[in-house]
Structure 1
């Protein structure tokens, strides 16, 4: 599996028309070519509302190339700037098919800068130590990816869904243990510390789903 990340910056007045074009023309064409749109997200905090990120999953490079025809529709009047890149999943997420119950309204798009030698350990710390507590509180991990190409330092992209901004705030990790016998907290505390040690730099954009 591979994932295309497509980031588009739009003029404010063209935003509704562009989303309509993606929803009714481009995304159906992608699906007809075998692609699966994971999400189309709009900037909320940390990026302007005129920034969109679309994540689309493909079986392989051949299916990705086939689906590029969906983007040949004329959209120059909408986009101020557009960029794409191929990412590779580095964990059990994204799922092959994302069920409706896994969808959320708000997403944290978090980027980590790490050594390429640390990618596997970083993913394990996240999946085994941090995600269980988050998902026990109603969040949902949509996916974790890294660069498909060999670069140093590497980027890791994590998309986590929340029901609301208040929900996102409520799931933030607090260093004070609520209970010495809380296994989820204790495991997260240890593996979160290790993940922080592996992280060179990190930042997050909070985005809202356009619900394709």
Structure 2
């Protein structure tokens, strides 16, 4: 039976950093102990990512979906993530902001590499950001084989929002092939014809997204298979 998703669903980004030389031990704990436990409590792991380029290999990011805030609160009270190999742990509550809010839950096939991209924008510009991404930037990336896993915003009441975008690629070279060789002219090296046809539309919408972005960073992370 297909799982039903709640409109009140929230996501949690758990950032973990292992002690030096203990990354593989921590990874083993996450895969064999922590993830099976949260699955038993009706929490859905979306992905587990490991630092690759821009983030160290002893840093992990786990994205999980909770039906509502009550499930998250009960989880934090009953199933704390305790392991002596961890030197840093941070949980960030996220709200899906893409048109298809459940896209990450419906994505059963993950890519090998993920672009972990963060943006800082004014809260009032979220709708423009989503439109520019979905209609301007994503079509080109998807036509070249990239796959957007999810788009989220931090759950805060502040005037600015941190946006998290995860996009999957087959390899580092695949990711490099989707980058524009000229950021504003939007010319692409080795781009397929379908991508070239999108550049005029993207030129306008990408510029809109750039104009409302206060800052942005991107790191490449490796997907870790979760067999649960």
Where does the alignment leave 5 or more consecutive residues of structure 2 unmatched? 1-8
Superposition deviation, residue 69 in structure 1 = 5.8
State the number of aligned residues.
208
CA displacement, residues 62-87 of structure 1 (integer Å, 9 cap, x when unaligned): 12223336743531x11111111101
Residue 98 (str. 1) matches residue 112 (str. 2):
no
Superposition deviation, residue 182 in structure 1 = 4.6
Superposition deviation, residue 132 in structure 1 = 1.2
Residue 5 (str. 1) matches residue 13 (str. 2):
yes
Residue 121 (str. 1) matches residue 131 (str. 2):
no
Residue 192 (str. 1) matches residue 199 (str. 2):
no
- What CA distance in whole angstroms lies between the structure 2 residues aligned with 1:42 and 1:162? 14
TM alignment of 1:38-187, pairs within 5 A: 38-68=46-76, 71-72=79-80, 74-75=82-83, 77-91=84-98, 92=100, 94-95=102-103, 96-100=105-109, 103-174=110-181, 175-176=186-187, 182-187=196-201
Where does the alignment leave 5 or more consecutive residues of structure 1 unmatched? none
Residues 2, 61 of structure 1: 8 Å contact kept: yes
Residues 7, 54 of structure 1: 8 Å contact kept: yes
Q: Secondary structure at the match of 1:114?
A: strand
- What CA distance in whole angstroms lies between the structure 1 residues aligned with 2:60 and 2:224? 9
TM-score of the pair, normalised by structure 1 = 0.91
Residues 94, 144 of structure 1: 8 Å contact kept: no
CA displacement, residues 42-94 of structure 1 (integer Å, 9 cap, x when unaligned): 1111111111111101111112223336743531x111111111010000255
TM-score of the pair, normalised by structure 2 = 0.85
Superposition deviation, residue 26 in structure 1 = 1.0
